Chain A
Amino acid sequence: MAVLNEEQTMLRDMAREWADNETPVTAFRKMRNAAPAEGYNTEAWSEIGQMGWGGIVVPEQYGGSEFGYLSLGLVVEQLGRNLAASPLASVGPAASAIVMGSSDAAKTAWLGKIAAGEAVATLAIDEGPHHDLSKIKTSVAGGKITGTKEFVAEGDSADVFVVAANDGLYVVAKGDGVVCNTRKMADARSHAQIVFDGASAEKLGGTDLTQAIVDRATAVLCAEMLGMAEQAFSVTNDYLKTRVQFGQPLSTFQALQHRMAKMFTEIELMRSVVEAALEAIDSGRSDIDQAVSLAKAVGGDTLKLVSREMVQLHGGIGMTDEHDAGFYLKRAAVLETMWGNASYHRERFARLNDF
C-alpha cells in the first residue's frame, strides 16, 4: 500500500465499504442477467455520481475534487474487487483529455456534467482488435470527423467521446453522425463499435495528448486489474480452506500452498508497479510511459495467472456459471487485452529503454 494522505485513506475506505455494500458480485450477476442497454449498473452509477467520484481528476473550478490518479485508482481498485459494472474507469481518463486539451468550450460544456455523474464520457481510440495507435485512420476535415472505432468501452451509453484521429485527439458529442453498434463480449460489459460519419469534432490536442490519455486510461485499468487479482486470490484462498478432500482441507496440501505463495508474491509486485504508475502521473514524472508499460505488463501477467488459477483451484465448481470464478476470468481476459497486452507493453518498455 502506498503511503496515503488522510483524504486518500478516507476515500479508499469509503469506496471499499460502498463497493461491498452496494455492488457485491451478486449485483454484477443481476446486471449480467438483466442485460440493460447501458451495459452497467445504472443505480450504482447514479450513486457514484452523487459521491463525486466522476470528478476525482477534474479541477475544482469545474466541480471536481482534483484528488488525482492515485485516488481514482484506489476507488477503481475497490470497484474492481467486486467486478462493479460502472463506467468510472473510462470516464476519468476521458475527463482528463478535456482538462488537458485546448478547448475551453469543451471544458465548459462537459466537465461539470462529468464530475456530477450526469454525463458518461469515454475514449474511442482503437480501430481493430489489438491496441495500436499507429494504425489510426480516422480523420478530420473542416471540423467533421470520419472513421470507425472498435471495442469502445461504455460506447452504448456514452454522451461524449474522446476520439483519436490521425492528427490527434478530438471531442465528439453523441448525436448526428455518430452510430453505435453493440458488441456483446464475454465479460458482459459495454463494448461497441462507434461509426463517426461526418460528426462535429472539436480538437483537444495532438498525438502526444492521445498517448498521454491512453497512458492514463491504462494506469486506471491496471488499478481495476489489481482489485480483481486481490479478490480472485482471496476468494480462492478461502475456498481452499473450506473444501475438504482426502479428509483434509485443500489448504493443507503443500503443492497448493506453494502455488498460493507464488501468486501472493506476484500480487505484491503488481501492487508496487500499479501504484508507481498512478503516482508517476500525479507527480508529472517524465517516465510515465515506462511506468505504465511496466504496470500493464506485470499486472497483465499476474492477473492472468491468478484468474486462471482461480478456476483451476476451484475445480468443477469453478467451471459453472453459478460460481463467480468465470466472471473474473472473462473480465480479466478483456482487460489484459485492452490498451495493449503484456507482450505489447514489454515491447514498448524495451524500445523506451533501448534494449
Chain B
Amino acid sequence: MATTAELDAPTRPTDAFREEVRGWIAENFPASLKNAGNAMATIEGPVDESADEKAWREAMGKKGWGVPTWPKQYGGGGLSPAEARVLNDELGRAGAYNPIGGMGVMMFGPTLLEFGTEEQKQKYIPDIAMSNIRWCQGYSEPGAGSDLASLQTFAEDKGDHYVVNGQKTWTSGGQWADKCFALVRTDKTQKHAGISFLLIDMDSDGVDVKPINLISGFSPFCETFFTDVKVPKENLVGQEGQGWSIGTRLLQHERNSLSGGGSSARMNAGEGVADIAKKYRGTDDKGGIADADLRTRIIKHEMDKRAFALTLRRAALDAKSNQGPSAATSIMKNVGARITQDRAELGVEIMGMNGLGWEGEGFSPEELNQTRVWLWGKAVSIYGGSTEIQNNVIAKRILGMLDHQ
C-alpha cells in the first residue's frame, strides 16, 4: 500500500545515487545561498544576479539538473522521475533551490520536446536548460481572452518567411523576454484550424512592448505589438494549422505548474493564518482566536488547504502507480486559486486598516506585502484559464455534459 511513508522512503533509485547527489550539492551549492529561496522563480521580474547565484545557476545548468527529467542530449539531466524526486529531496535537505525556471521550463520546453523538430530542439532546449534566455507567452489578445481561438494576430505567408501583424496582451515578462512563443493566425477562413504556433524574437524590428500597470501596483504583464515583423519559416513549430492542439497541450503544462508548486504554493507559505489572527485579534479565555466568526472561517480555510494538499498527494501517487492521470488533476487550478484568495482575504481582514497600507511609514513590511499579495491574488482565478473556463472543462470533458445549441 503506497502511503506518505512510501513517498518519503529513501529507497528505490538506490542509495548510491542519493549519495552522489548529496555530494554534488555539497560541493557546488554556495553556502551563502542556504535557505535564501529562489529569487529567479518570483514572478518574471528582472533579477540582479549575485556572483554566487550565477555560479549556482551555471552549475545546475551544466549538470542538467534544473530540468532533471529532460533528455541528456538537449542539456537535461536524463533522470527518471524517481531520481528527480531524490534530487528534489536533497535540494530541500541542503536548503538549496532549483535556479532554473521560468516559462521556458514550465511550459515551452516540454511542449517543444513533444512537437519540435530535431533542429528546433537542439537550437532552443539547451538554452532553456541553462536559463540563458527568457521566454514569454503570446497567447491572449484584447479580443481573445477566455475565447482564445478567436485570436486575430496574423502571420502572412511570404514564401520563406512570415510577416506578423497584431497585438498580444498579458505577455508575462514581455519587457525582459528574449523570445516569444505565440499563437498566430495563418488562415482567416477557419477558427481553430487556422491557428499556428510560431517562435518570434523579441528584438526583431516591429516588436513593441508596453508594461501594463496592475491594481497591485506591479507590472508583470505587457501589451506586445507586432508591426510587419519578419519571422523565418523555420520558426514554425509543428505544421500550419496545428497551433491550437500544440497550444492547448502547452496550457496543460501551465495549469499543472500553476496549481502545484507554482506561485500559489509560495503565497501560502509563511506564518500560519491562525497565529497572525491571534496576534492581531487576541485570544479568548481558552486560548483560541477571540473573534468567533473569523475563527470559524480560518478553520474552514485550514481544512480546505489540508484537503487540497492530500489531493495533490493522491494525484501524485496515482501518476506514480501508472493508473493514468487522476481526475483529481482537473480540479487543482480552481481549488488552488480559491485557497490562495481566501488566505489573502483573511490576511487583510485580520490586519484591518493595517492590511490595506500601500507604501511608506506606519506599516510593517508584512502588512505592506499583504496588501499587494491580496490584490495580485485576484489574478489567480483569471489567468491560466479562469475558474469559469475550468468549470466548463470539468463539465464537458469529465462529466460529459454537452454544449448548449
Residue numbers of A with Cβ under 8 A of B are 1-5, 8, 70, 237, 240-241, 248-249, 251-254, 256-258, 260-262, 264-265, 268-273, 275-276, 279, 282-283, 294, 297-298, 346-347, 349-351, 353-355
Contact = CB atoms under 8 A, between A and B. Distances in A.
A351 B298 CA distance: 13
B368 interface: no
Nearest to B288: A355
Closest 10 CB pairs of A and B: A257-B395, A261-B391, A3-B2, A272-B310, A261-B394, A272-B311, A252-B404, A251-B401, A265-B331, A269-B307
B215 to A, nearest CB: 26
A73 to B, nearest CB: 13
A298 B405 CA distance: 36
Nearest to B338: A265
Contact of B295 (A5, A258, A350): A350
Contacts of A273: 306-307, 310
Contact of B1 (A5, A237, A351, A353): A5
Interface in B322-346: 323, 326-328, 331, 334-335
Given A8-B1, A260-B395, A350 B299 contact: yes
Contact of A269 (B3, B311, B402): B311
Contact of B299 (A240, A257, A275, A349): A349
A82 B296 CA distance: 34
Interface in B301-316: 302-304, 306-308, 310-311, 313-314
30 contacts: A1-B314, A2-B2, A2-B317, A3-B321, A4-B1, A252-B401, A252-B403, A252-B404, A253-B404, A256-B401, A260-B395, A260-B399, A261-B390, A261-B399, A265-B335, A269-B310, A269-B335, A271-B314, A276-B310, A279-B1, A297-B303, A298-B307, A349-B299, A350-B295, A350-B299, A354-B274, A354-B287, A355-B274, A355-B295, A355-B299
A2 B314 contact: yes
B274 A353 contact: yes
A256 B396 CA distance: 12
Contacts of A354: 274, 287
A10 to B, nearest CB: 14
Given A2-B314, A2-B317, A355-B298, 8 more contacts: A2-B1, A240-B401, A252-B404, A261-B390, A268-B331, A270-B307, A294-B306, A346-B296
Interface residues of B, number: 49
A253 B402 CA distance: 9
A25 B296 CA distance: 37
The binding surface of chain A is classed by DSSP as helix
Contacts of A298: 303-304, 307
A261 B398 CA distance: 9
Contacts of A265: 331, 334-335, 394
A279 B3 contact: yes
Nearest to B403: A252
A351 B289 CA distance: 11
Contacts of B298: 355
B162 to A, nearest CB: 37
Given A1-B318, A240-B401, A248-B405, A258 B395 contact: yes
Contact of B328 (A4, A240, A272): A272
Contacts of A262: 391
Q: Is the interface of B mostly helix, strand, loop or mixed?
A: helix
B300 A251 contact: no
Contacts of A4: 1
B159 interface: no
B400 interface: yes
A283 B396 CA distance: 38
A297 B308 CA distance: 14
Interface of B: 1-3, 5, 274, 287-289, 295-296, 298-300, 302-304, 306-308, 310-311, 313-314, 317-318, 320-321, 323, 326-328, 331, 334-335, 388, 390-392, 394-396, 398-405
Contact of A241 (B321, B335, B394, B401): B401
Contacts of B331: 264-265, 268-269
A172 B326 CA distance: 46
A3 B311 contact: no
A3 B1 contact: yes
B6 to A, nearest CB: 8
A70 B314 CA distance: 14
Contacts of A355: 274, 288-289, 295, 298-299, 302
Nearest to B405: A248
Contact of B323 (A1, A276, A346): A1
Nearest to A297: B303
B44 to A, nearest CB: 29
Contact of B404 (A70, A254, A283): A254
A273 B304 CA distance: 10
A249 B310 contact: no
Nearest to B335: A265
B1 A294 contact: no
Nearest to B308: A269
Contact of B391 (A257, A268, A275, A276): A257
Contacts of A1: 314, 318, 323, 326
B334 A294 contact: no
A144 to B, nearest CB: 37
Contacts of B299: 346-347, 349-350, 355
Contacts of A8: 1
Contacts of B326: 1
A261 B307 contact: no
